[in-house]
Amino acid sequence: MSSAEKIAAADLANLSVVRYPDPRLREVCTPLEVVDEAVGVLAERMLEVMFADRGVGLAAAQVGVTVRLLVASPSFDEGDRIVLVNPRIVAEDGWEEMEEGCLSFPQIFCKIKRRKIVTIEALDLAGQPIREDLEGFAARVVQHEMDHLDGRLLVDRMGQLAKLAHRQALKQLEADFVGG
């Protein structure tokens, strides 16, 4: 399916966050071929879902639309909105370990090591190329959401100890999942 077909197939008025182990979270997402009005509507709906669920970032795969689009608000301020279409990391520097959560893994928080500084190239909602230098928490949020674009999840970044510590919570999510 093309990105446009995936967006057209989505019920944009009723998006909700899909949880681990939904198989859509494991897909390598499709690049957006065009940045049109439908992409803008999807991004707007994703921001609404993200703020409503008290998240600071959300990838389209997390609402079941497996395209390379992410939204974020590292300060959790309605005025602070990052929307990235087809983002890629073009430079990175340093490492930092911090506690991190994910709307698709409710109640699970664990320390994850990520790049401290990243430079991102992407398209904005006007289809124009943008370049952003991000540091600290903002860099972390965008790296986390970019993981989702490749089907990579919090559980893949956890160390053995964290996996053990969260074994029950992970099992519960697996038991709660009604898939298909």
Q: How far apart are CA 21 and CA 2, in angstroms?
A: 24
CB of 144 to Zn ion, least distance (A): 5
CB of 63 to Zn ion, least distance (A): 12
Smaller CB separation from Zn ion, 4 or 27: 27
Whether residue 39 contacts residue 32, with contact meaning beta carbons closer than 8 Å, is answered with: yes
Smaller CB separation from Zn ion, 71 or 102: 102
Q: Output phi, psi for 52, to 5 deg.
A: -65, -35
Among the listed residues 109, 114, 64, 111, the one whose alpha carbon sits nearest the alpha carbon of residue 89: 114
Out of 78, 96, 145, 174, pick the active-site residue. Answer: 145
CB of 174 to Zn ion, least distance (A): 17
Interface with Zn ion by CB under 5 A: which residues? 102
Distance of CA 155 to the CA centre of its chain: 14
Active site residue 145: yes
Residues with Cβ within 8 Å of residue 155, at least 6 apart in sequence: 20, 105, 163, 170
First-to-final CA distance of the chain: 18
Token pair in block for residue 17: 């966050």
CB of 57 to Zn ion, least distance (A): 7
Q: Output phi, psi for 129, to 5 deg.
A: -65, 135
Smaller CB separation from Zn ion, 4 or 169: 169
The residue at minimum Cβ distance from Zn ion is 102
Whether residue 17 contacts residue 63, with contact meaning beta carbons closer than 8 Å, is answered with: yes
Smaller CB separation from Zn ion, 20 or 91: 20
Residues with active-site annotation: 145
